[in-house]
Amino acid sequence: MKASVYSIEGKQLREIELPKAFAHPLNRELIKRAVLSIQSKRKQPKGSNVRAGRDNTAEARSRRVLPHTERTINVGRARLPRMKNRRHLLYGRVARVPQAVGGARAHPPKSEKKIGEEINKKEKRKALLSAIAASSNRELVGERHLLPEGTKLPLVVESSFGELQKTREVLDAFKALNVLADIENAKRKRRKRSGKGKRRGRKKKQKKSVLIVTKGNTKVYRAARNLPGVDVSSVESLNVELFAPGCKPGRLVLWTEDAVKVLGEKA
């Protein structure tokens, strides 16, 4: 399987042999499992204070051997923990139990609960290879991106693309490579989020656009990071969620030539 390498001006330079990762079979179920595993690891554990509802003097004294003024059995009152130091025991307010006002919750959330979904290393690696292969499938990519006619996938550009330092230079390169329309479409698709997420630092929802994969930390990261929907990642830091946002494979990916070579050495 071969792919054409384009210059920043959009001219075809040469053809290179693609790694075996681009010929891997598609497995949607495995990709979804891997993405959900990554998302679950970002969740913050939450739980209530162990003393919540129990920081009081309530005590249940349900025995017949106690004095009549201290016991809670056979006196016409519920056999529940009651607060002390309130004149006498029978006058005490019920506390501590879940059905009492201000009492402890029956089954509160616990911070020690394991909320991360685990996945085997071999399965995660296989899911990543499957997601990479899906990014070269024109039918899958066309379902979520604006892909002009004649655009060949995977899209590989010369290594000098990673040295671009200005956002205008990146946009000019995108225009020459026929992917600027998808970025403009992503910019129009920024919308207000519905629900309580607006009050929790997530006011907007942004459509995903092009993923740029380079070798190592390059200067193009600072130039392209503010473009709507554009993500930049090194080939050494790839994960399934980058290639399948929302568990849906088929993202438009722009590879640099040296990144493809590194992928061939690793895959």
Q: What's the pTM value of the predicted model, to 2 decimals?
A: 0.85
With vertex at residue 257, the alpha carbon angle to CA 251 and CA 263, rounded to the nearest 5 degrees, is 70
Instruction: State pLDDT tens for residues 144-164.
Output: 999 988 888 999 999 999 999
Please give the pLDDT value at position 168: 97
Indicate the SS3 state at residue 199: helix
Do 201 and 140 share a structural domain?
yes
Structural domain containing residue 55: 44-114
pLDDT of residue 20: 94
Examine the fold and report which residue of 68, 87, 114 is the final residue of a domain before the chain moves on.
114
Domain assignment of residue 36, yes or no: no
Chain segment 64-89, per-residue pLDDT in tens: 888 776 777 887 888 899 887 666 65
Same domain, 244 and 162: yes
One-letter amino acid identity for 122?
A: K
Q: Is 37 within the bounds of a domain?
A: no
Alpha-carbon gap, residue 123 to 170, rounded angstroms: 35
Structural domain ending residue among the three candidates 114, 133, 150: 114
Check whether residue 102 and residue 152 sit in a common domain: no
Question: Are 59 and 106 found together in one domain?
Answer: yes
The Cα 129–Cα 243 span in angstroms is 10
Residue at which a domain ends, from 95, 114, 133: 114
